[in-house]
Structure 1
Amino acid sequence: MPHFLRRPLPLALLIAGLAELLFAWRVTIPSKPFFDEVHYVPAARTLLALAQPANIEHPLLAKELIALGIWLFGDDPLGWRALSTIAAAAVVAGVFALMWLGTGRRRPAVVAAVLTTVNFTVFVQARIAMLDGFMAAFVVLGAASLAWAMRGAPAQVRRRWCLGAVLLGLATACKWTAAPYVAFAAVAFLLLRRGRPDRWPGLGPLKALALLGGASVATYFLTFAPAFLYAREPLTLATVLPFQWTMYLQQTQVLPAHTYQSAWYTWPFDWRPIWYLYEPVDGAQRGVLLLGNPAVLWGGLVAVAACAVAWLRTRATGPGVAAGLWIASIAIWPLIPKSLGFFYYYYLPSIWLAVVLAVALDHWRDRLRYWDEAVLLVAIGLFLHFYPILSAAALPGPGAFTRWMWLRSWA
Structure 2
Amino acid sequence: MLDRFRDRPWLAALLIALTAQILFMVHLGRPDVLMFDEVHYVPAARVLLTLDHPVNQEHPLLAKEIIAAGIALFGDKPWGWRFFATLAGTATVAGVFAILWLTFGRLRTAAFGALLVIVNQMVFIQARIAMLDGFMGAFTILAMAAMLWAMRARTGRQTRWRLVLTGVLLGLAVGVKWTAVPYVAFAGMAMIVVRLRNARLSGKGWASVLSSRNQPHWPEIATIPALLIVGLVSIAVYFVTFAPAFFYAHQPLTIATLLPFQIEMWKLQTEVLAAHPYQSQWWSWPLMLRPIWYFYDQDMGSWRGVILLGNPAIMWGGLPALIACLIAWWRGGGLRQLAIVLLWVASLAVWAIIPKSLGFYYYYYLSGIFLCLAIPAAFNHFGKGRWKEADEWFAILALGLFIYFYPVLSAGPLAGRMAFAHWTWFMSWR
Q: TM-score range by the shorter chain?
A: over 0.9
Q: Which of 291, 313, 324 is 1:306 aligned to?
A: 324
Q: Letter of the aligned partner of 1:64 in structure 2?
A: E
Which residue in the other structure is 1:212 paired with? 230
Q: Which of 380, 391, 405 is 1:372 aligned to?
A: 391
Pair 1:177-2:179 in alignment:
yes
Q: Letter of the aligned partner of 2:63 in structure 1?
A: A
Q: Could you report, residue by residue, the CA deviation over 1:129-187 in whole angstroms, capped at 9, with x for unpaired residues?
A: 00000000000000000000112211001111110111011000000000000011111
- Aligned pair in 2 of structure 1 residues 71, 109: CA closer, same or farther (>3 Å)? same
Taking the TM superposition and a 5 Å limit, the aligned residue runs for 1:1-400 are 1=1, 3=4, 6-151=7-152, 152-196=154-198, 197-314=215-332, 316-367=334-385, 368-400=387-419
In the alignment, the residues of structure 1 paired with residue 216 and residue 250 of structure 2 have an alpha-carbon distance, to the nearest angstrom, of: 53
Which residue in the other structure is 2:422 paired with? 403
Between the two proteins, the alignment pairs up a number of residues equal to: 411
Q: Calculate the TM-score normalised by the size of structure 2.
A: 0.94
2:353 is paired with a residue whose SS is coil
Asked whether the 8 Å contact 2:85–2:129 carries over to 1, the reply is yes
2:252 is paired with a residue whose SS is coil
Q: CA RMSD in A?
A: 1.1
In the alignment, the residues of structure 2 paired with residue 377 and residue 331 of structure 1 have an alpha-carbon distance, to the nearest angstrom, of: 31
Which residue in the other structure is 2:212 paired with? none
In the alignment, the residues of structure 1 paired with residue 333 and residue 189 of structure 2 have an alpha-carbon distance, to the nearest angstrom, of: 17
2:297 is paired with a residue whose SS is strand
1:280 is paired with a residue whose SS is strand
In the alignment, the residues of structure 2 paired with residue 303 and residue 184 of structure 1 have an alpha-carbon distance, to the nearest angstrom, of: 22
In the alignment, the residues of structure 2 paired with residue 204 and residue 310 of structure 1 have an alpha-carbon distance, to the nearest angstrom, of: 31
Q: Letter of the aligned partner of 1:162 in structure 2?
A: V
In the alignment, the residues of structure 2 paired with residue 100 and residue 195 of structure 1 have an alpha-carbon distance, to the nearest angstrom, of: 22
Q: Letter of the aligned partner of 1:224 in structure 2?
A: F
In the alignment, the residues of structure 1 paired with residue 6 and residue 340 of structure 2 have an alpha-carbon distance, to the nearest angstrom, of: 26
Asked whether the 8 Å contact 2:275–2:358 carries over to 1, the reply is yes
Following superposition, the deviation at residue 279 of structure 1 comes to 0.8
In the alignment, the residues of structure 1 paired with residue 35 and residue 189 of structure 2 have an alpha-carbon distance, to the nearest angstrom, of: 39
Amino-acid identity (%): 53
Following superposition, the deviation at residue 247 of structure 1 comes to 0.5
Following superposition, the deviation at residue 375 of structure 1 comes to 0.7
Q: Could you report, residue by residue, the CA deviation over 1:176-200 in whole angstroms, capped at 9, with x for unpaired residues?
A: 0000000111111111122234111
2:255 is paired with a residue whose SS is coil
In the alignment, the residues of structure 2 paired with residue 363 and residue 103 of structure 1 have an alpha-carbon distance, to the nearest angstrom, of: 10
Deviates more, 1:238-247 or 1:192-201: 192-201
In the alignment, the residues of structure 2 paired with residue 46 and residue 143 of structure 1 have an alpha-carbon distance, to the nearest angstrom, of: 33
Asked whether the 8 Å contact 2:328–2:381 carries over to 1, the reply is no
Deviates more, 1:306-315 or 1:361-370: 306-315
In the alignment, the residues of structure 1 paired with residue 424 and residue 43 of structure 2 have an alpha-carbon distance, to the nearest angstrom, of: 33
Q: Could you report, residue by residue, the CA deviation over 1:111-145 in whole angstroms, capped at 9, with x for unpaired residues?
A: 00000000110110110000000000000000000
Runs of 5+ consecutive residues of structure 1 not aligned to the other structure: none
Following superposition, the deviation at residue 6 of structure 1 comes to 4.0
Q: Letter of the aligned partner of 1:90 in structure 2?
A: A
1:179 is paired with a residue whose SS is helix
In the alignment, the residues of structure 2 paired with residue 80 and residue 141 of structure 1 have an alpha-carbon distance, to the nearest angstrom, of: 23
Following superposition, the deviation at residue 408 of structure 1 comes to 1.7
- Aligned pair in 2 of structure 1 residues 5, 78: CA closer, same or farther (>3 Å)? farther
Deviates more, 1:271-280 or 1:190-199: 190-199
Following superposition, the deviation at residue 324 of structure 1 comes to 1.2
Following superposition, the deviation at residue 65 of structure 1 comes to 0.3
In the alignment, the residues of structure 2 paired with residue 296 and residue 352 of structure 1 have an alpha-carbon distance, to the nearest angstrom, of: 10
Runs of 5+ consecutive residues of structure 2 not aligned to the other structure: 199-214
In the alignment, the residues of structure 2 paired with residue 4 and residue 265 of structure 1 have an alpha-carbon distance, to the nearest angstrom, of: 40
Following superposition, the deviation at residue 3 of structure 1 comes to 4.5
Following superposition, the deviation at residue 346 of structure 1 comes to 0.5
Q: Letter of the aligned partner of 1:310 in structure 2?
A: A
Following superposition, the deviation at residue 363 of structure 1 comes to 1.2
Deviates more, 1:368-377 or 1:1-10: 1-10
In the alignment, the residues of structure 2 paired with residue 79 and residue 341 of structure 1 have an alpha-carbon distance, to the nearest angstrom, of: 29
In the alignment, the residues of structure 1 paired with residue 134 and residue 53 of structure 2 have an alpha-carbon distance, to the nearest angstrom, of: 24
2:140 is paired with a residue whose SS is helix
In the alignment, the residues of structure 1 paired with residue 132 and residue 50 of structure 2 have an alpha-carbon distance, to the nearest angstrom, of: 19
Following superposition, the deviation at residue 311 of structure 1 comes to 2.1
Following superposition, the deviation at residue 5 of structure 1 comes to 7.0
1:32 is paired with a residue whose SS is coil
In the alignment, the residues of structure 2 paired with residue 6 and residue 212 of structure 1 have an alpha-carbon distance, to the nearest angstrom, of: 31
Following superposition, the deviation at residue 403 of structure 1 comes to 0.7
